[in-house]
Amino acid sequence: MIDQERIHRYNNTPPGPGPVIYWMQRDQRIMDNRALVYAQKKAIEKRQPLLVVFCLLPEFLDATGLQFQFMLKGLNEVLASLGKKNISLLILKGEPDQIIPELVRRHDAGLLVSDFNPLRIVQGWKNVIMKQLNTAFHEVDAHNIIPARFISKKAEFSAFTLRRKIEKTLDTFIPEEIPQLVNHPFTQQKAWIENDAFLSLLYKPEKDFPSSQSGQNISWIKPGEIAAMGAMKQFICQGIDEYSILRNDPNEPGQSGLSPYLHFGQLSAERIALEAKKSDASTGSKKAFLEELIVRRELADNFCLYNPAYDSFEGFHSWAKSTLNKHRGDIREFLYELPVFELAKTHDPLWNAAQKEMLSTGKMHGFMRMYWAKKILGWTASPEEAMAVAIYLNDKYELDGRDPNGYAGIAWSIGGVHDRPWGERPVFGTIRYMNFQGCRRKFNVDKYIQAWT
């Protein structure tokens, strides 16, 4: 029953007799991966090999070598783990809408399975692939605890409206155990050479992918699903208990730090939720954490799935567009161009500290992300420019960037998406405002500035 609700069929073609191909895109892991398990189940039913393919693009939504390196190291682990299960992983360089149909034809595949990603670029590839194929093409949502296409058929207005739906069905979707991949009994015969090229990329990503030139150091986080599982266990044992008290203090390690793993699909949200529920942390902390992990995260997928303008002014609610339009002509106290933001050279030491935290570690604290994006609205000539600057910086420097959470977070901060109107003020209109003094009341601002200056 639950499996059926995870599946979206791109066509009505019944699966044919050939091998099954799983196009791994967003969920780059073998543990707790329902799309991969579904693909294997279908292959075993048909007594066929299972082939996994990953398409590597030299450029993807402003990502830099650092993010590619994190992803490639994770994929290297996937390659080894799949090998132990008698499954081949092909890592092919190029656009999926060209590679996948060609691969399906070359192998005479009986079924193509993919995971779910609401981003426009991925939906676009799938639509092109669908038109080119006569083969059965199924998508399995292995990223959301409650499948995005099942929980809602429209863009939800707020966390409140989605939460109500989630609460009714959550128990059905968090089972006692998650199905796992088994040793595959049918072997893929053809040999491939493309992976050699991939392995050489692993060690020289700066040569082949765009450079951020920021001197980012991400040694605080180890890539790959084994490290992800370790980080999750540590958080569940030691961190989650104080989550409700510490998560909004940027001077404390109060957040889980798991977003890069979730973004690259190296860790399943379902696994985290299962372990968090079992833990003996305080009820308040568990509730607060699951609200972020489930409601907020899945609201972001809902937003991107049903609002194709998720990364622009056009995607805002009409009340937000009209209040921002009304205040277009307001005088901005400060006006900056992109390089001033990028180099953390604004007049505001708190904003600069947040930007520097992101530049140096690849992860800005969650609380500061709101302040950071709202200030960009205040200091650019238009909300359109604010969106462009915030998305560019977020996608380029955050390890977890290029994610529905990022587009929803930025649209919330700048365009009131999932929020409501607040008191009216210059430039912002009725979009919720945040200021330096407000931050000072919440945490030790000087300590944070000092830490990142």
Ligand X SMILES: Cc1cc2nc3c(=O)[nH]c(=O)nc-3n(C[C@H](O)[C@H](O)[C@H](O)COP(=O)(O)OP(=O)(O)OC[C@H]3O[C@@H](n4cnc5c(N)ncnc54)[C@H](O)[C@@H]3O)c2cc1C
Work out how close the CB of 164 gets to ligand X at its nearest, in angstroms, rounded to a whole number. 18
> DSSP characters for 35-64?
HHHHHHHHHHHTT--EEEEEEEPS--TT--
Verify binding: residue 24, ligand X, rule CB under 6 A: no
Cβ at position 408, least distance to ligand X in Å: 6
User: Taking the complex as a whole, how short is the minimal distance between the CB of residue 326 and ligand X, in angstroms?
Assistant: 23
Asked if 400 is part of the footprint of ligand X (rule: CB under 6 A), the reply reads: yes
Query: Is residue 179 part of the contact set for ligand X (CB under 6 A)?
Result: no
Q: Is 370 in the site for ligand X (CB under 6 A)?
A: yes
> Least CB distance from residue 409 to ligand X, whole Å?
2
439 contributes a contact to ligand X by CB under 6 A: no
Contact between 405 and ligand X by CB under 6 A: the answer reads yes
Evaluate whether 342 touches 224 at the Cβ level (below 8 Å). Answer: no
Residues in CB range of 25: below 8 A, 6 or more apart: 54, 55, 96, 114, 115, 117, 122
Contact call for residue 376 and ligand X (CB under 6 A): no
Q: Which two tokens stand for residue 242?
A: 């104080």
Burial of 319 by CB count in 10 Å (0-12 exposed, 13-18 middle, 19+ buried)? Answer: middle
Q: Is position 396 an interface residue for ligand X (rule: CB under 6 A)?
A: no
Max intra-chain CA distance, the chain: 69
For ligand X, the closer of residues 7 and 293 by Cβ is 293
3-state secondary structure 343-356: CCCCCCHHHHHHHH
Nearer to ligand X, 138 or 369 (CB): 369
119 binds ligand X, rule: CB under 6 A: no
- Residue 184 sits in the site that holds ligand X (CB under 6 A): no
Nearer to ligand X, 181 or 231 (CB): 231
Distances (CA, A) of 328 to 24, 136, 392: 43, 50, 22
List, in order, residues 6 or more apart from 56 with CB less than 8 Å away. 91, 92, 93, 94, 198, 201
**CB-count burial class (<10 Å; 0-12, 13-18, 19+) for 226:** middle
Question: Is position 373 an interface residue for ligand X (rule: CB under 6 A)?
Answer: yes
How many Å apart are CA 94 and CA 285, to the nearest integer? Answer: 43
Q: How many residues bind ligand X (CB under 6 A)?
A: 27
CB of 302 to ligand X, least distance (A): 11
The stretch among 89-97, 114-122, 145-153, 258-266 that binds ligand X (CB under 6 A) is 258-266
Q: Of the listed pieces 223-231, 256-264, 318-326, 347-355, which binds ligand X according to CB under 6 A?
A: 256-264
> Is the distance from CB of 174 to CB of 145 less than 8 angstroms?
yes
Which of 7-15, 64-72, 80-88, 395-403 is the region at the interface with ligand X (rule: CB under 6 A)? 395-403
Residues at the contact surface with ligand X, assessed by CB under 6 A: 247, 255-259, 262-263, 292-293, 296-297, 300, 366, 369-370, 373, 394, 398, 400-401, 403, 405-406, 409-410, 413
